[in-house]
């Protein structure tokens, strides 16, 4: 049995390298550095206390504002509209760009992964955290008010092993997140290891036929 910290995904080193070779779009380039990519799933999940969960999420974001020159923000299909609207109002005095889809061009998710100085990711999604870890940039999970126990153990393991930081770790410390990808830590990506294990099992099965 193969056990890995992260799951397979499509964010390859080749894709990241190609995106890093492109000129940064002007609307992102013009925002002050350091740039924190804020990647949001559903921080209100697993609780009926939505108002409390939303305030908890905004408080966690506040811990990042001193370290961030600006935020590049993107939600997912699971993100409640009220989260994005509250965040927009909460950051109205902080430089930011928020992608909501309509009329804003191509989905910038992979570009944000590749080009942000650090990635703050809501910890309700194992896949989103895993994709962020594959970049080699600083990763800061934002733990929601209520979290799946298995995800909670995953995030704690990442913290203990030094793969991620907590929001409080970079409060007021922009120098702690400005680095070239891989400078703070190597990318964590089990995709090739998992693919190799699958190929091996398939080959063994074919021989046994």
- Residue 147 near residue 23 (C-beta atoms within 8 A): no
Instruction: Render pLDDT for 135-171 as a digit per residue (tens, 0 to 9).
Output: 999 999 999 999 999 999 999 999 999 999 988 877 6
Full-model pTM? 0.88
Q: Which tokens sit at 17?
A: 């390298």
Pick the more confident residue, 111 or 189: 111
Q: How confident is the model at residue 179 (pLDDT cuts 50, 70, 90)?
A: low
Q: Which residues contact 152 (CB under 8 A, 6 or more apart)?
A: 123, 143
CATH for the stretch 13-208? 3.40.50
Span between the terminal Cα atoms of the chain, in Å: 21
Instruction: Render pLDDT for 40-66 as a digit per residue (tens, 0 to 9).
Output: 999 999 999 999 999 999 999 999 998
Instruction: Tell me: pLDDT of 111 over 70.
Output: yes
DSSP-derived secondary structure letter, 72:
E
Q: Which of 183, 181, 133, 179 is nearest to 159 (CA)?
A: 133
Q: Using CA of residue 134, residue 54, residue 65, residue 63, what is the dihedral sign?
A: negative
Indicate the domain borders of the chain.
13-208
């Amino acid at each position: 049995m193969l056990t890995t910290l992260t799951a397979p995904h499509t964010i390859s080193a080749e894709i990241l390298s190609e995106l890093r070779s492109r000129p940064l779009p002007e609307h992102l380039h013009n925002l002050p550095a350091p740039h924190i990519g804020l990647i949001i799933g559903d921080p209100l999940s697993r609780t009926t206390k939505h108002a409390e969960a939303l305030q908890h999420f905004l408080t966690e974001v506040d811990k990042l504002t001193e370290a961030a020159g600006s935020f590049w923000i993107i939600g997912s299909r699971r993100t409640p509209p009220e989260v994005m609207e509250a965040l927009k109002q909460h950051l109205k005095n902080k430089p930011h760009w928020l992608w909501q889809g309509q009329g804003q061009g191509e989905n910038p998710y992979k570009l944000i992964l590749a080009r942000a100085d650090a990635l703050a990711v809501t910890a309700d999604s194992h896949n989103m955290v895993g994709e962020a870890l594959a970049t080699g940039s600083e990763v800061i999970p934002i733990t929601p008010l209520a979290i799946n126990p298995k995800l909670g153990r995953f995030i704690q393991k990442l913290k203990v092993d030094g793969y991620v930081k907590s929001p409080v770790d970079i409060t007021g410390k922009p120098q702690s997140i400005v680095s070239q990808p891989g400078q703070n830590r190597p990318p964590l990506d089990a995709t090739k290891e998992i693919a190799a294990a699958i190929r091996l099992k398939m080959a063994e099965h074919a021989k046994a036929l």
